[in-house]
């Protein structure tokens, strides 16, 4: 077997027990051998300020290098006020700046929004897609994954309660793996 694609997983929630973190951990367990999902923490990144470009805050260089080294990115996010959480937008700003040094440039990506509500983060999903187009990120076009019912999705062991949900997520990861392969050529 060839080396798996390294996928940087960015979680748009800081809460350690967030539904999106639970999703990241559950996806790691069911990922196909062709994908290596690695959670990349973003909560330590200070707010992007272009005045600090000459002497970036701690953590910026490591974050940018991690994104550049990844073969792809998987974004997992809740919806806050019909958009993406500030921590995720900040990570996108840190990784894509200063101008001309976009660590996300050309990366294939997947995107899942997950929330307790029925709409599954629909607004956040589409706002994030809009930002990713600007950053030249090749986001998997379909299936669009806005998933509701997060509060009842995970069992005590961190897996999916329903076998159908696990199968659905596994199919998404297989589709993402194919997408990454096509984009990487």
What is the DSSP track for 123-185? HHHHHHHHHHHHTT-EE--SS-EEE--GGGTB-TTSSBSSHHHHHHHHHHHHHHHHHHHHHH-
Cα 183 to Cα 98, 140, 141: the distances in Å are: 25, 10, 12
Residue where the block lists tokens 């379909």: 142
Q: What is the pLDDT of residue 151?
A: 95
CB atoms under 10 Å from CB of 27, counted, come to: 25
Q: What is the pLDDT of residue 2?
A: 84
Q: Give the count of domains, the chain.
A: 1
Q: What is the pLDDT of residue 80?
A: 93
Q: Is the pTM of this model over 0.85?
A: yes
Q: What is the pLDDT of residue 121?
A: 94
- CATH number of the domain enclosing 125: 3.40.50.360
User: Residues of the chain whose pLDDT is less than 50?
Assistant: none
Per the structure, the complete domain to which residue 164 belongs is given by 5-184
Whether the Cβ atoms of residue 112 and residue 171 lie closer than 8 Å to each other: no
Q: What is the pLDDT of residue 58?
A: 86
Q: What is the pLDDT of residue 93?
A: 97
């Amino acid at each position: 077997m060839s080396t798996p694609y390294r996928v940087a997983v960015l979680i748009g929630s800081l809460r350690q027990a967030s539904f999106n973190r639970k999703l990241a951990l559950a996806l790691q367990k069911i990922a196909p051998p062709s994908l290596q999902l690695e959670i990349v923490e973003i909560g330590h990144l200070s707010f992007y300020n272009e005045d600090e470009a000459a002497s970036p805050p701690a953590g910026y260089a490591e974050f940018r290098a991690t994104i550049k080294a990844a073969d792809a990115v998987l974004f997992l996010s809740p919806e806050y006020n019909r958009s993406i959480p500030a921590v995720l937008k900040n990570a996108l700003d840190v990784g894509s700046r200063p101008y001309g040094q976009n660590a996300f440039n050309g990366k294939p990506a997947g995107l899942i929004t997950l929330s307790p509500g029925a709409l599954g983060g629909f607004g956040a999903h589409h706002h994030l897609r809009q930002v990713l187009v600007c950053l030249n990120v090749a986001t998997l076009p379909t299936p669009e994954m806005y998933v509701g019912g997060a509060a009842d999705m995970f069992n005590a062991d961190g897996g999916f309660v329903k076998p159908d949900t696990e199968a659905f997520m596994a199919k998404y990861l297989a589709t993402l793996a194919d997408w990454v392969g096509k984009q990487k050529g």
